């Protein structure tokens, strides 16, 4: 987004703009990184990411933040250098040596930048791990001496590459990595899944583990289906069970009081499978405002549900305590109940267990996945975690063309970056570390899709737009897997590789099984994969609320929610205007008048005859797009993503519960792994404000699409407290990718944002 003053005059890097940056950063002069980032990006970094001392004073700037992250991430490259690393593990295990990182702080590193004690702690931890595996050729003291002698100075180039990916805003890792890399906590992952058994001891242990995850900066998903239903017998006390929802409230309370890494409250995904006797109670768990505010909730529908639905049969509800059938329900009526509550409140979402596990290459050795992270884009096994990062697609558009060559280079660097994060991560639980390193899943995704499409002059919901989405996702996963294979040759495959579907020629993406969709040589890649791959999964499309604001682009794969946002700051009142839309406005007459009309039209140009038809087709926003095209966008991208896709299916205020019902059916039939819908105005305290012209222009949109049908089907969330940002009080929050974010200060309820 670019800045436009209220009266329409462009605000450049003038004295006031520079002074505001200096004030925010507590500096008398700006360095090159401070200069390169927009003021709004600086605001987000200062508010949420830059390290502070005990009194809340900044102790680093943006440049130092990105150096801190890159210096941690480069450590595994050094420890896997052939000078000291033996992939085969045939070295003698050297005696473990004591090491005081404080004594070496600032003394080791490259000529231009040094490691701090927290970097060195993680370095020693990784050395010890590799040494225990017989993979280190030299003792720790010898390795330290080699560092002092500059034997690894050539890896400065790799450090610089990681650093420049971030400062050039081509890639950013998930928030915990920015918070904690090279800092005290050292926990770098965003996504976690825990398990819970049907006994009080297990439940309370899970609550304790959840607290540790929230404290470290992570978000959590739990499937509560093993817990006996409300009213069921508890023999040990001669009492009755209180049911899964009651125990979710305990986790909700714990979440509320533990701020993640000192930054924000945690986020949860609560899942209940459709066969559970408490399913009706779960569906309505968030009906009343104030209930489970730190939770997204989702119903998991399994293959048996869909077989009953298609066959017109009843669907059995089963007591998990003894496996006995409690009752039967009409699956269509159950789905209608889910649809109505989602229409009314935004919850629950739906997860499709069959689609989630169809291409799961670990199913034969670990069973089916039954849970996801808080925003649903990362299905995980119990006690597994994943670290995410997103590539800025808009940064790859040059002179109206998408730079595929640069995209490939960035993908390859980012896969190494995220794989390295696993090695230097200070996991909150040993069990999570063990399970994560067995599969080494990473989640590389994208952001800035909407802005890239604007720049390429491609309508989001057009055949050309869907083709571009498909190609981006295919290209991303193809080159990410290929890079992971190269890493396996250097460092070894993930430990469960030999028990995975990869050795049988399976691939983790549905597009691989539809040869007509191929634009790349997947046969050749599948042969390469059989020799070993470093990561069980490599791609995920996550919400990017805060990091997309740092990058200054649209969130994840979402359309722009509005072409213009109002903003009030100490240096003045102005509007944030989408950068590509602003470029077009500069070519038009009466720019000031047009800007006012767009503001009055709810941030959209639909229905405004002052804008040419070609421009109205390209510059669409979330509520300009019919829900079935939202579903299709998610499905097209999902074809080529290893894990899943986080997206919100936005519906206008007057959409019906039947529209939600049809959206669920379409999403399942198109192979989506889950779906989150949000109908404008579906909360008593409205989160999304579309402006005075929203109804008029949405009626115009419906006229435009009235002749379109759901033929595409035969081709193939969380709410904030009240209606204002809890950080800055801004009242026009935006609901995207299954979470809420503030366009004013960068606050987001999504832990992975």
CB 418 within 8 A of CB 433: no
DSSP per-residue codes, 215-247:
HHT-EEEEE-TTSPPTT-EETTTTEE---HHHH
CB 383 within 8 A of CB 394: no
Catalytic annotation on 700? Answer: no
Residue 744 to residue 721: CA distance in whole angstroms: 16
Closest Cα partner for 749 from 270, 211, 265, 252? 265
**Is the omega angle on the peptide bond into residue 150 within 30 degrees of 0, that is, cis?**
no
Residue 580 to residue 2: CA distance in whole angstroms: 9
Catalytic annotation on 377? Answer: yes
- Exposed / middle / buried, residue 480 (Cβ in 10 Å: 0-12, 13-18, 19+): buried
Tell me the three state secondary structure of residue 221. Answer: strand
CB 608 within 8 A of CB 600: no
Task: Show the tokens assigned to 137.
Answer: 């050729």
CB 177 within 8 A of CB 421: yes
Residue 478 to residue 464: CA distance in whole angstroms: 21
Residue 440 to residue 666: CA distance in whole angstroms: 32
Q: Between the CA of residue 10 and those of 14, 577, 583, 594, what are the distances in Å?
A: 11, 11, 12, 15
Beta strand pairing status for 648-651 and 674-679?
Answer: parallel
Catalytic residue among 375, 414, 485, 739: 375
Residue 309 to residue 336: CA distance in whole angstroms: 12
**Is the omega angle on the peptide bond into residue 348 within 30 degrees of 0, that is, cis?**
yes
Beta strand pairing status for 219-223 and 191-194?
Answer: parallel
Catalytic residue among 209, 273, 377, 506: 377
Residue 204 to residue 694: CA distance in whole angstroms: 47
Catalytic residue among 116, 131, 296, 373: 373
Kindly report the backbone phi and psi dihedral angles of residue 592, in degrees, each rounded to the nearest multiple of 5, phi listed first.
Answer: -65, -45
Closest Cα partner for 624 from 561, 557, 717, 707? 561
DSSP-assigned letter for residue 107: T
Residue 300 to residue 273: CA distance in whole angstroms: 5
Q: Which residues contact 736 (CB under 8 A, 6 or more apart)?
A: 543, 545, 555, 556, 558, 561, 622, 648
Tell me the three state secondary structure of residue 574. Answer: strand
CB 535 within 8 A of CB 441: yes
Residue 48 to residue 63: CA distance in whole angstroms: 15
The residue length of the chain stands at 753
Instruction: Name 351's bridge partners.
Output: 300, 674
CB 362 within 8 A of CB 439: yes
Catalytic annotation on 485? Answer: no
- Give CA 36 to chain center in angstroms: 25
Q: Which residues contact 240 (CB under 8 A, 6 or more apart)?
A: 230, 231, 232, 233, 234
Residue 168 to residue 163: CA distance in whole angstroms: 8
Q: Locate all alpha helices (DSSP H) within 359-429, ordered by sequence.
A: 363-366, 404-424
Task: Show the tokens assigned to 404.
Answer: 């595929």
DSSP per-residue codes, 315-361:
EEEE-TTT--EEEEE-HHHHHHHHHHHHHHHS--EEEEHHHHHHT-T
Question: Hey, which residues are catalytic here?
Answer: 373, 375, 377
């Amino acid at each position: 987004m670019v800045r436009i003053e209220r009266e329409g005059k462009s605000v450049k890097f003038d004295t006031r703009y520079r002074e505001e940056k200096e004030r925010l950063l507590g500096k008398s002069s700006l360095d090159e990184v401070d200069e390169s980032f927009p003021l709004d990006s600086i605001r987000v970094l200062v508010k949420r990411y830059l390290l502070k001392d005990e009194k809340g004073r900044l102790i680093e700037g943006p440049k130092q933040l990105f150096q801190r992250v890159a210096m941690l991430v480069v450590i595994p490259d050094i420890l896997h250098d052939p000078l000291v690393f033996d992939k085969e593990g045939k070295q003698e295990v050297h005696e473990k040596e004591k090491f005081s990182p404080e004594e070496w702080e600032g003394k080791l590193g490259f000529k231009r930048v040094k490691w701090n004690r927290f970097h060195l702690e993680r370095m020693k931890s990784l050395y010890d791990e590799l040494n225990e595996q017989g993979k280190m050729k030299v003792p720790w003291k010898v390795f330290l001496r080699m560092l002092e002698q500059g034997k690894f100075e050539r890896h400065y180039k790799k450090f610089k590459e990681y650093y420049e990916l971030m400062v050039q805003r081509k890639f950013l890792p998930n928030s915990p990595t920015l918070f904690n890399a090279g800092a005290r906590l050292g926990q770098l992952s965003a996504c976690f899944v825990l398990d819970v058994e049907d006994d009080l001891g297990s439940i309370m242990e899970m609550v304790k583990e959840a607290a540790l995850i929230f404290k470290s900066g992570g978000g959590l998903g739990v499937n509560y289906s093993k817990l006996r239903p409300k009213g069921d017998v508890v023999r040990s006390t001669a009492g009755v069970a209180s049911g899964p929802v009651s125990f979710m409230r305990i986790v909700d309370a714990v979440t509320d009081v533990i701020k993640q890494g000192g930054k924000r409250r945690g986020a949860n995904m609560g899942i209940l499978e459709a066969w559970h006797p408490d399913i009706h109670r779960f569906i309505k768990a968030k009906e009343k405002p104030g209930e489970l505010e730190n939770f997204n909730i989702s119903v998991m529908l399994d293959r048996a549900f869909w077989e009953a639905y298609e066959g017109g049969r009843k669907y059995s509800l089963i007591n998990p305590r003894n496996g006995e059938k409690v009752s039967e329900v009409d699956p269509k009526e159950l789905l209608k109940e889910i649809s109505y509550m989602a229409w009314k409140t935004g919850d629950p979402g739906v997860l499709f267990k069959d689609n989630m596990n169809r291409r799961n290459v670990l199913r034969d050795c670990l069973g089916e996945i039954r849970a996801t992270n808080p925003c649903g884009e990362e299905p995980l096994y119990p006690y597994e975690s994943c670290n995410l990062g997103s590539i800025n697609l808009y940064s790859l558009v040059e002179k109206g063309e998408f730079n595929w060559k640069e995209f490939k280079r960035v993908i390859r660097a980012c896969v190494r970056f995220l794989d390295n994060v696993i090695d230097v991560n200070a996991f909150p639980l040993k069990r999570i570390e063990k399970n994560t390193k067995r599969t080494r899943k990473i989640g590389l995704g994208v952001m800035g899709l909407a802005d890239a499409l604007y720049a390429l002059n491609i309508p989001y919901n057009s055949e050309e737009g869907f083709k571009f989405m498909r190609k981006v996702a295919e290209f991303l996963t193809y080159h990410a897997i290929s890079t992971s294979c190269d890493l396996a040759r250097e460092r070894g495959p993930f430990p469960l590789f030999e028990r995975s579907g990869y050795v049988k020629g399976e691939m983790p993406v549905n597009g691989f099984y539809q040869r007509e969709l191929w634009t790349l040589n997947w046969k050749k890649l599948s042969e390469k994969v059989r020799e070993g791959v470093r990561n069980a999964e490599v791609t995920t499309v996550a919400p990017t609320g805060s990091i997309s604001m740092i990058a200054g682009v649209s969130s994840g794969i979402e359309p722009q929610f509005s072409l213009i946002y109002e903003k009030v700051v100490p240096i003045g009142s102005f509007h944030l205007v989408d950068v590509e839309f602003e470029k077009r406005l500069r070519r038009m007459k009466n720019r000031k008048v047009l800007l006012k009309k767009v503001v009055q039209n709810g941030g959209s140009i639909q229905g405004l005859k002052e804008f040419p038809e070609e421009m109205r087709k390209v510059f669409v926003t979330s509520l300009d797009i019919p829900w079935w095209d939202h579903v299709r966008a998610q499905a097209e991208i999902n074809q080529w993503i290893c894990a899943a896709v986080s997206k919100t299916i936005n519906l206008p205020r007057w959409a019906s519960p039947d529209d939600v019902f049809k959206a669920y059916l379409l999403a399942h039939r198109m192979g989506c792994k889950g779906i989150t819908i949000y109908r404008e105005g579906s909360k008593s305290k409205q989160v999304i404000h579309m402006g005075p012209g929203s109804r008029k222009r949405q009626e115009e949109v419906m006229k435009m699409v009235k002749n379109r049908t759901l033929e595409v089907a035969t081709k193939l969330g969380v709410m904030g407290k009240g209606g204002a940002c809890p950080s800055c009080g801004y009242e026009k929050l935006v609901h995207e990718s299954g979470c809420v974010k503030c366009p004013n200060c960068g606050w987001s309820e999504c832990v992975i944002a």
